[in-house]
Every structure is written in C-alpha cells, then in structure tokens.
A and B are shown apart, each in its own frame.
Chain A
Amino acid sequence: MLDKERVLAKAKAKGGKGFFILIAAVVVVGGFLLMNAGGSDEAPELTPISLAGGDIAADMSSGTAMGAEDAPVVIMEFSDFLCPHCRTFNGLSGKLLRQNYASTGAVRWISFDFPLWPDSWAPAIAVQCAKRQGKYYEMKDLLFARVESWSGGGNPNRKFVDYARDLGLDAGAFKSCVDGQETAAAVQASRTYGESLGISSTPSIFFNGEPYQLTGGDYGYGAMEEQIKAIVAGGE
C-alpha cells in the first residue's frame, strides 16, 4: 500500500514537472512571438505620396465649404496641421467664426489643406477621408486638438483611425482611405490652388477674395467679426 502511494506520488510529481515545463515552453514561445510579431514597435513607414498629373482641379471647389453659398462674406482659410499658429487660429477665431457666422448664413467658410511639410500630408489626407463621410470639420478640430499625440513620428494612421471611431465614422472605410492615401489628389488640388494664389505660409486667410492679415491676440476674431457685421448691416 505504501509502495503504491509512493509510486502514485512519484508519478504525480513527474506529471507536475512536465506540466511546468510545458507552461514555460508556451511562455517562451509566446513571448518570443509577441516580441517579433510586428518586426519592431514602430508602425510601418508611410508610403510616399503619389501625386496626380496635371488634371487636378485646382480651384475653389478643392476646398471644404460650410455656410450659405450666397453669403455676403466668403472667408478662405489655408492651413497646415503641423503649424502651431494654424492650430491656435483654428481653435480660436476659426471655430468661433464658423459657429457664429457660417451657421447663420452671414459667412461662407472654405477650408483648404495646405501641407507645408512631408509629415503634414498624412493628417491632410485623413481629414479629407473624414470629409468623405461628412465629418471634415469634426476631424479637423480633433486633429488640431490632439496634434501632440499623433505627431510624435512614425505612421500616425492608426491614431487617426481611433479618432475616426471616436467620431462615429465607419472606421474600416476610413482606414482603407488613409492607408491607401485615396484622398491625396484632393489635398494636392487644395494645395495647388493655394499656390496659385501666391500662398507660401500658413495660416493664410482670404476675406472676400483679399489676403487678410491676422492681427491681435484673438487671431483676428474681433476684427473679422466687426467687418462681417458691417458688411451684413450694409447689405440689409
């Protein structure tokens, strides 16, 4: 009886040892695969932007408009997502003017993407992909608000897809769009139109067709608001 118990205990101990060896093997193999699954901890490099030929419609239609078509004031804004002043302008006067005047019919606001740097193309393509799903301005505000998060280097598209999900977009379609750079031509058209107007820096604003110098700590909000009110009052 004692011998039988000893044999059973020995067999159990042997089985336990084998079990822990198996666990160790799974941990080692699993850990190795996790470490090497992505090749590196970096997202893949963005493929170079492939730009279209000369058939780009580089006109005002390349912008993204909001507000009434027959509004007495047309404001065109050219911005770059990596430009700090564009971010401040968008967060202050841009957003307020769109909210307070584009929605009332006083202003037609047209945004153009004007990527100045190689890394500025990915967010510009992303915002155009959001435009396909009707959320250009929502994505624009989000990209500016979270610029520190996505501009750290590498491929930001994964973060953009998260933002698309946050905005309630079809993230699968959005992902295909940004990964395939499907809207590069739209960005290119927007930029080419800006170049045709002589733009070389951002943010660049055009107020009823005339270049507009942003002044004041409010990035031109007060001054533009005054002019808008005067034009609207004059037209009545």
Chain B
Amino acid sequence: MSYDTRLRGIVLVGLVGLFVAVYLLLYQMGFYGSLLCGAGSCETVQASKYARFLGRPVPLWGTLWYAGLLVLAFLALGPAAGKRWLDVLLALVVTGGLLFSAYLTGIELFVLHAVCMWCVISAVLAVILFVLARPWRVLRGSQAPADG
C-alpha cells in the first residue's frame, strides 16, 4: 500500500472517528436524550467518572484527537508532503491515541464492567489508524514512509 493511499485511509477512518466522537460529545452536552446503543451499556460508561479526563468530557478529547489527525493527514497529503517532522508527529499522535484508547477499554472491561459500543468502535478505529500510520517504522527512522 502506497504512502498516499495510507494517508487517504487515515483521512477516511479519522473522519468516521470524528463523527463518532462528535456524537458522544453532543450526547454528553445533552443534545440527545439517549444514546443509540445496539449492544453494551453506553449510558453507564458515559455517566461514569471516567467519562471525563482532565475535567473535560472524554469525547471532547476524542474529537480534538480525530480532528488533529485529519489536519496532519491532509498536510501530509498536500502542502507538507514528505516532511519528516510531520510523519513523526503523526506517528506520535496515533500512538498516543491508541494507548489512551487501550486505557479506556481497560477501564470499561475491568473497572466498570460495562462496554460502550461507540467506545469499542472508536478503539477499533484507533487500531486501524495505528496500522495505517505505521509509527513503528516512522519512529525507527530506518525506512522512509514513502517506501510503503
């Protein structure tokens, strides 16, 4: 898979994630009465104290994360294509997001014993983004991203 194709994949997956995060954020802001939750215990998770991080709703951080990823991917596709600092930044952001997502999934499974379908979707998206961004290669620096 070429570098550009992977970046485009990041944009598309990131866009889907952005909608998920905005949906949860709007719910937390009271825009929706209840969450569409086909499986799991979305409201239990969203009502828990872990639904906030650094005093702000977790979906707000998710929204910022996905939006930031989109900006970085667009920059890498266009005006700043091929810049090493951008690839490193993208790799760090994706890795940070995956770790945070893993932490939240751990909280759901082992502390709350409740799983929110939307959180699972977001976690899966974080894994896909991680695979697409290939941070292990970028951060190792042994292979140019363009080599695919």
Which residue on chain B has the smallest CB distance to residue A159? B30
Known A-B contacts A44-B34, A159-B30, A172-B47; A33 and B52 likewise in contact (beta carbons under 8 Å)? no
Q: Which of B10-53 contact A (CB under 8 A)?
A: 11-12, 15-16, 18-19, 22-23, 26-27, 30-34, 36, 43-44, 47-49, 52
A155–B30 Cα distance when bound, in Å, is: 10
- Residues of B close to A174: CB separation below 8 A: 47
| Shortest distance from the beta carbon of B106 to any chain A beta carbon, whole Å | 17
Which residue on chain B has the smallest CB distance to residue A12? B4
Asked if A155 and B33 make an inter-chain contact with CB atoms under 8 angstroms apart, the answer reads yes
A94–B32 Cα distance when bound, in Å, is: 36
- Residues of B close to A33: CB separation below 8 A: 19, 23
Q: Tell me whether A5 is interfacial, beta carbon within 8 Å.
A: no
A39–B19 Cα distance when bound, in Å, is: 17
Asked if B32 and A171 make an inter-chain contact with CB atoms under 8 angstroms apart, the answer reads no
Asked if A43 and B8 make an inter-chain contact with CB atoms under 8 angstroms apart, the answer reads no
Interface centre among A38, A41, A175 (most CB of B within 10 A): A38
How many A residues touch the partner, as a band?
A: 20 to 34
B36 CB contact (under 8 Å) in A26, A37, A165? A37
Known A-B contacts A34-B23, A34-B26, A171-B48; A26 and B34 likewise in contact (beta carbons under 8 Å)? no
Interface residues as binary, A190-226 with B (CB distance below 8 Å gives 1, 0 otherwise):
0000000000000000000000000000000000000
Nearest 10 CB-CB pairings of A with B:
A38-B32, A30-B19, A43-B33, A44-B33, A175-B47, A171-B47, A158-B30, A172-B47, A26-B15, A19-B8
Listed in ascending order, the chain B residues whose CB lies under 8 Å from chain A are: 8, 11-12, 15-16, 18-19, 22-23, 26-27, 30-34, 36, 43-44, 47-49, 52, 112, 114
Ordered by A's residue number, 13 sampled pairs between the chains whose C-beta atoms are within 8 Å are A22-B12, A30-B15, A30-B16, A33-B19, A34-B19, A34-B22, A38-B31, A39-B33, A43-B30, A159-B30, A165-B47, A172-B44, A174-B47
